[in-house]
Amino acid sequence: MKTYIKPNRNDWSELIRRPEMKAQDLNELVASVFQTVEKLGDSGVRGYTKRFDQVEIFEPKVREEEIQLARKLVPQKLKDAIKTAEQNIRKFHNSQVIEESSVETQSGVKCWRETRAIEKVGLYIPGGTAPLFSTVLMLGIPAQIAGCDRIVLCTPPSKDGTINPAILFTAQLVGITEIYKIGGVQAIAALAQGTESIPKVDKIFGPGNQYVTAAKSFALTKGVAIDMPAGPSEVLVIADETSNPAFVAADLLSQAEHGADSQVILLSTSEIMLNRVQTEIEVQLASLPRMEIAIDALNNSSFIQLKTLEECLELSNKYAPEHLILAFETASEYIEKITNAGSVFIGKYSCESAGDYASGTNHTLPTNGYARNYSGVSLDSFIKKITFQELSVSGIQSLGPAIEIMAEAEQLIAHKNAVSIRLKALKNA
């Protein structure tokens, strides 16, 4: 951990600069996988699964009996916890359903919007060292509420060709039955282009490593939308002398254990607090199974003392963190000062883990500074809005002349004529 005491404002940008990823070799690999999958379909996917995951899958679609077996393998306590999270996440996302109203912009001219679900969506769920069954809830529930016609889930198989039972149980809980045992770049390539077994989707969702992230970006060139650009996970915590150093250390470590490229930043008005948090981190690290991963992440992280909480919020907005934790007593008084963040956790008891699992908010969030211009996944991510307008006789008569004048000024005479021909017909009638 690097510690900076009251750094000059001119140095702020350098202190919060994210590590740059070498993209050229990565992009060449992704393009090659897409090309092969487009040409060979299922056999191309199977080949890459054998190469990257060291397992050969001849029937990628998960069978119903595999899903039923998974139900028996998941401990009841875990089932109950997943159901609690499912209820909260469903309640929060149901609250995002909005009834659109129509407006008469002028006499005889009525405009409104209607919601339509994205028809086919692909959900990518990482398996690997941390099978993220919680992400099934975060993506599957809003997709279901939105009314997507087809929800396709892809997740990498283990070495024995099976899928983590908790992933299958959670998928079944939220009503997802079309599940495929493929992961990595080949999964994104299959979803973006389609194969004999796997359908081409309209939008791809889900987190992943740098390969999956690069593949999702490449999918855009195939006319497939993605949830958002992404990078490594990150958290920024703001603390003062009222904060609990053990709580702060736990929050920083909970993000650091995601991966060696995760980034954690602590901002504080108190140098004493920075030192106490560092001590707590050393104590808590010793008991973590993913200690080495967390240490690698901490080596690229920063502890920064600033003069005031206002300065801390200013630097946080400049960084635009995926997760922002205000871990001090007066946190609620500073909410309005937050302009850039993926998800915000207010007060010393609001741990980032709550949002990751069960509070109800979505944990699929913008990283790498994209919180400046992207929102996290929500119900809106799975729908699109179509605008409608209806002009009556009086509407085209009252609005038509303005349209004619504007179209002629832009020298788009066919646009003008579309109005003029109607006005003339009405006049002749």
CB pairs under 8 A, 24+ apart, for 242-245? 242/328, 242/329, 242/330, 242/348, 243/268, 243/273, 243/327, 243/328, 243/348, 244/327, 244/348, 245/273, 245/276, 245/277, 245/279, 245/280
Given a contact cutoff of 8 angstroms between Cβ atoms, the answer to whether 151 and 176 are in contact is: yes
Give the ranges where 41-132 is alpha helix by DSSP (H): 42-53, 64-73, 76-94
Known catalytic residue at 323 = yes
Amino acid at 35: Q
- The b-or-e profile of 71-97 (16+ CB within 10 A means b, else e) is eeebeeeeeeebeebbebbbebbeeee
| Options 93, 257, 258, 323, the catalytic residue | 323
| Options 322, 352, 363, 404, the catalytic residue | 322
CA distances from 59 to 36, 43, 105, 214 (A): 19, 11, 56, 26
Relative to beta strand 263-268, strand 234-239 is parallel
Give the strands of the sheet with 234-239, arranged side by side: 2-5, 302-305, 263-268, 234-239, 323-326, 343-346
The residue among 97, 147, 94, 138 whose CA lies nearest residue 227 is: 138
Q: Locate tokens 């109203």: which residue?
A: 101
Relative to beta strand 178-180, strand 203-205 is unpaired
Whole-angstrom distance, CA of residue 286 vs CA of residue 15: 28
Given a contact cutoff of 8 angstroms between Cβ atoms, the answer to whether 240 and 266 are in contact is: no
- Please give the distance of CA 252 from its chain centroid, rounded to a whole number: 20
Known catalytic residue at 178 = no
- Please give the distance of CA 280 from its chain centroid, rounded to a whole number: 31
Active site residues: 322-323
